[in-house]
Chain A
Amino acid sequence: MPSPEAQPARRTGALERVLRAIERTTRILALIGTGSLVIAVGLVAGDIVWRRLLGGAIVGVIDLTQLCVMAAAFWSIPYAFTARAHVTVDLLSQRFGQRARLWLDALGGVLSIALMAAVLYLSSQRALEQWRYGDVSQDLGIPMIWYWAFLLSGTALAGVAAAAAFLRDALEYRRTQRTV
């Protein structure tokens, strides 16, 4: 049985593993999402060549490009939280201490989670509606729910990633406090 002193360290270790798993998931999805842009590039380039040389067109290029862009955009948003790539203004916060900055990060984290939750809730209503009606894309008849799936999964993961980013900052803060 672990000693009482070892329990917080074990909890921190478990949290660390969870955070790492979330960060890895956001990175993998982002790489798949932006990797799908290579497919879009190939399709559009192929369509241009086909059109110029043979006068035809690849059917469904627009549908597939849109699908790739939905994947790239919505699977990149969680990773941008993980990588702290979302635009912030550091003018005031630079004057605050580390503890105050952590509180500000908590505010940012809570509002980010709230926004993602609101977007997820509202969008899921419309997505379900389109699913029930069986809406499909214009040329290839791809079910519109596939496009919505990227939005819903990306938004849900973005909320989790925002929370993970804040917890990561809190862990770092605790670590520096211990060192001091």
Chain B
Amino acid sequence: MSGAPLGLLGFAAVLVLAALRVPVAVAMGIVGTVGSVALLDWHSAAYLMSSLPFQAVFPYSLSVVPLFIFMGVFATHSGLSRSLYNGVHALLGHRRGGIAMATVGACAVFGAICGSSLATCATIGKVALPEMRRRGYSPRFAGATVAAGGTLGVMIPPSIILVLYALLTEQSIGALFAAALVPGLIATLLYLAAIVVQVRLRPELGPADRRLPWRERARAFAGTWDALLLIGVVIGGIYSGIFSPTEAAAVGAGGALLITAAKGRLSREALLAGLAETAQLTGMVFLILIGAALFNLFIEATQLPSTLVTWVGESGLSVAAVIALIIVFYVVLGCFMDSLSMILLTVTPAFAIITQLGLDPVWFGVLLVTVAEIGLITPPIGMNLFVIQALSSDLRLTELSIGVVPFILADIIRVILLAAVPALSLWLPSVLGI
């Protein structure tokens, strides 16, 4: 066996090993190493592989990854989530389903600091879930709202997955961040609409809270100044061209550390806990990058990407049909794999097809992350659902899975919108000239 069938066998081997609880990064690395040695002669394979782990970490552009992780971790430790939640709650809490709306709003803003869905879900969940349940919200509705809202962490820039997509496909990180902003806002609006529809149909899901006087609302909102400043400096700096993404990440990481210190939360224990958490995420991401580099060497040696491109060209499928197939493929795969591993495992062949069809890689990156994000709330491997379950142990996974259905419908509408109207993603980068 050689060529494309061997490549497909390689994908199957990774999935089988992952299903057997082998770390996904190790599965990719082992299959990539064994496959490359099998396809190429030992000396060529060894020579090519000898620099891959180094090159998977060394480039300066990759510095952005641990720095954004650092920023997200310390933003979480600083307690910014509490002030953000209080601020949005003061504005929306008096409406029916208002605390759920405030939760989605807080997730969207926190996502602009954090860059990770799981962290957004866990951080906002810790604040919002007890609050919603105390105010008589349905536990299922409350849990589903946080799980769905958490997905905004990966969509709203800065996003670690968007950074990795940009680096692997040699696209501009700034352009991808700009392209993801409008889809991120659309996601927020659609989630808010999903909440409004649900509480209109079943008012008992989310009763209205008392209306706060304007002075209290203003005070609560003013308490979010540090979070808004951090977002403004990081995202504004990238969009305006003042900072490169790496510089923005460094400034953001330093800012998050300073805010944590200013709030009196930077004890020795907190600092060590933050560094240890940064290390866990950094080690996890970089091992996946190394595994993906080895696996992609093997996939390129099988010529699977070019075979797929030829097959798509000869199949007579329309561009829309190919995009629909890719979306369905990722939605199904996202039910079983985490989004980061899934994207790094498959981006090489998918990217080859997209560029061959003449589609915009920046638009595809945003679409890919949107689709991957759906996998975070779809069972059986919906990571955000697990986070919510850990936060409220009396809530069963099946109940949560039913609760997120309206939000998944909102996601499907968004995917259709983004796929049909690329300008939703590409407008802002073109206006900013990135």
Which residues of A does B touch, CB under 8 Å? 27, 30-31, 33-35, 37-38, 40-42, 44-45, 47-48, 62, 65-66, 69-70, 72-81, 83, 85-93, 101, 104-105, 107-108, 111-112, 114-115, 118-119, 122-123, 125-126, 147-148, 151, 155, 158
Whether B283 is near chain A, meaning CB under 8 Å from some CB there, is: yes
CA distance A40 to B62 in the complex (A): 13
Q: Could you tell me if A79 and B276 are in contact, using CB atoms closer than 8 angstroms? A: yes
| Contact among A92, A122, A158 with B20 in the assembled complex (CB-CB below 8 Å) | A92
Counting residue pairs across A and B whose Cβ atoms lie within 8 Å, the total is 192
Q: Could you tell me if B250 and A45 are in contact, using CB atoms closer than 8 angstroms? A: yes
Q: Could you tell me if A34 and B70 are in contact, using CB atoms closer than 8 angstroms? A: yes
Contacts of A81 in B (CB 8 A): 283
CA distance A158 to B290 in the complex (A): 13
Q: How many residues of chain B get a CB closer than 8 Å to chain A's CBs? A: 58
Contacts of B62 in A (CB 8 A): 69
Whether B24 is near chain A, meaning CB under 8 Å from some CB there, is: yes
Q: Could you tell me if B18 and A88 are in contact, using CB atoms closer than 8 angstroms? A: yes
Residues of B228-262 contacting chain A, CB below 8 A? 243, 246-247, 250-251, 253-254, 257
Q: Could you tell me if B58 and A79 are in contact, using CB atoms closer than 8 angstroms? A: no
CA distance A104 to B51 in the complex (A): 30
Taking the closest CB of chain B, its distance from the CB of A83, in whole angstroms, is 5
Contacts of B50 in A (CB 8 A): 122-123, 125-126
Quick one: given A89-B18, A91-B381, are A38 and B257 in contact (CB under 8 Å)?
A: yes
Quick one: given A73-B57, A91-B380, A125-B50, are A85 and B280 in contact (CB under 8 Å)?
A: yes
Whether B63 is near chain A, meaning CB under 8 Å from some CB there, is: yes
| Contact among B63, B257, B284 with A69 in the assembled complex (CB-CB below 8 Å) | B63
CA distance A125 to B52 in the complex (A): 12
Whether B214 is near chain A, meaning CB under 8 Å from some CB there, is: no
Taking the closest CB of chain A, its distance from the CB of B150, in whole angstroms, is 17
DSSP majority for the B interface?
Answer: helix
Contacts of A42 in B (CB 8 A): 254
Q: Could you tell me if A44 and B283 are in contact, using CB atoms closer than 8 angstroms? A: no
CA distance A178 to B30 in the complex (A): 35
Task: List 17 extra interface pairs beyond A30-B275, A73-B286, CB under 8 A.
Answer: A30-B280, A33-B279, A35-B275, A45-B254, A65-B60, A70-B58, A79-B283, A80-B282, A85-B281, A86-B25, A87-B338, A89-B337, A91-B380, A107-B21, A111-B26, A114-B30, A115-B26
Quick one: given A65-B60, A88-B24, are A40 and B67 in contact (CB under 8 Å)?
A: yes
Contacts of B276 in A (CB 8 A): 27, 30-31, 34, 79, 83
Whether B422 is near chain A, meaning CB under 8 Å from some CB there, is: no
CA distance A89 to B246 in the complex (A): 32
Taking the closest CB of chain A, its distance from the CB of B43, in whole angstroms, is 11
CA distance A107 to B246 in the complex (A): 38
Taking the closest CB of chain B, its distance from the CB of A164, in whole angstroms, is 15
Q: Could you tell me if A66 and B60 are in contact, using CB atoms closer than 8 angstroms? A: yes
Q: Could you tell me if A48 and B247 are in contact, using CB atoms closer than 8 angstroms? A: yes
CA distance A105 to B23 in the complex (A): 10
Contacts of B53 in A (CB 8 A): 119, 122-123, 151, 155
Whether B159 is near chain A, meaning CB under 8 Å from some CB there, is: no
CA distance A85 to B278 in the complex (A): 11
| Contact among A48, A74, A87, A111 with B284 in the assembled complex (CB-CB below 8 Å) | A87
Q: Could you tell me if B26 and A89 are in contact, using CB atoms closer than 8 angstroms? A: no
Taking the closest CB of chain A, its distance from the CB of B356, in whole angstroms, is 30
Contacts of A80 in B (CB 8 A): 279-280, 282-284, 287
CA distance A37 to B253 in the complex (A): 9
CA distance A79 to B286 in the complex (A): 12
